[in-house]
Amino acid sequence: MSTALRIQQLNKHFANGKHALRDINLTVQRGEMVALIGASGSGKSTLLRHVAGLVVADGASDSLIEVDGRCVQQGGRIHRDIRQVRAQVGFVFQQFNLVDRLPVLMNVLVGLLHRTPRWRGWLRLFRPHERALALEALARVGIADCHAQRASTLSGGQQQRAAIARTLVQGAKVVLADEPIASLDPESSRKVMDILARINREDGSTVIVSLHQVDVAIKYCPRVVALHQGRVVYDGPSAALTPGLLRELYGVQADEILTGANPLPSAAAPAVSPVAGWMPPLAQAA
């Protein structure tokens, strides 16, 4: 296996002095599906934004972030070839980040802009085969029939599926999803997680998904990285994450990630074997 993501010695202080990430070292192999869990404020978004090159690490440090062997940033400086790296990285946001007034198909075609000559992008002159690619991506996420609608007319779950279709069209090898289901109802959440798992399985894309709730992480991701106050406090099989261990790691904050405020419908077949007896102890512990 080769490395999809390498993070070394990552530290981040924000301008207000907040030490949001502390000595993060993390390696993810190609084709993995990894959950990034932690209470709100633990640093999940900040970490993913560093990987996408949207935020720079502390200056004058030994930090290094590489995606697919290419440097994103080093020592607090974004690499000069960042555009090439960004083309490999798809970002899925909690709030979807679609252009509301544009049709869904056009929103998905935005995923192609990094390889479309600028003037064609500006003039929105996408070619027929590019439109076909976007329609195919929309079909894969199950919303091809919405392609002509304005993005704003879609439900939250459909908008998030369109955002995932955009990463498909982009041809992203690494998909970073930052709490993609936090704003969705349980059924839409299940669909979005199923789609991310399918992209991982069928396309071999590396998926790193931050999640607020541990039950969803365990259901879909064989590996969990747990953040607490900017530090990695656990990195290992999701199956080994017991409520007891989570309480050890998080103390009173454990309840925030143990109680599934947004539990998925139980009808979905788990992609990963859940821990035997996981749900009942959770319910008792709550």
Ligand X SMILES: Nc1ncnc2c1ncn2[C@@H]1O[C@H](COP(=O)(O)OP(=O)(O)O)[C@@H](O)[C@H]1O
DSSP state of 58: P
Instruction: Report strand pairing: 33-37 vs 223-228.
Output: parallel
**18-47 footprint of Mg ion as x/- string (CB under 5 A):** --------------------------xx--
CA distance 78 to 71: 8
The structure tokens 């199956």 sit at 239
Strands (DSSP E) contained in the chain are 3-13, 19-29, 33-37, 64-67, 70-74, 77-78, 89-92, 174-178, 206-211, 223-228, 231-237
Decide: helix, strand or coil at residue 175: strand
The verdict on 122 binding ligand X (CB under 6 A) reads: no
Q: How far is the CB of 40 from Mg ion (least distance, A)?
A: 7
- 92 φ, ψ to 5°? -115, 125
Residues 163-192 within binding reach of ligand X (CB under 6 A): none
For residue 48, give the H/E element and its range. Answer: helix 44-51
CA distance 88 to 173: 5
Q: How far is the CB of 272 from ligand X (least distance, A)?
A: 23
Indicate the residue among 2 and 16 with the shorter CB distance to ligand X. Answer: 16
Q: How far is the CB of 116 from ligand X (least distance, A)?
A: 31
**7-46 footprint of ligand X as x/- string (CB under 6 A):** -------x-x-x-x-----------------x-xxxxxxx
Total residues in contact with ligand X, by rule CB under 6 A: 12
Q: How far is the CB of 22 from ligand X (least distance, A)?
A: 11
Q: How far is the CB of 172 from Mg ion (least distance, A)?
A: 20
The residue type found at 154 is: L
Indicate the residue among 43 and 111 with the shorter CB distance to ligand X. Answer: 43
Tokens of 71: 């440097």
**71-90 footprint of ligand X as x/- string (CB under 6 A):** --------------------
Q: How far is the CB of 178 from Mg ion (least distance, A)?
A: 6
Query: How many Cβ atoms sit within 10 Å of the Cβ of residue 100?
Result: 12
Indicate the residue among 12 and 140 with the shorter CB distance to Mg ion. Answer: 12
Using CB under 5 A as the criterion, which residues of the chain lie in contact with Mg ion when the complex forms? 44-45
Site of interaction with ligand X (CB under 6 A) = 14, 16, 18, 20, 38, 40-46
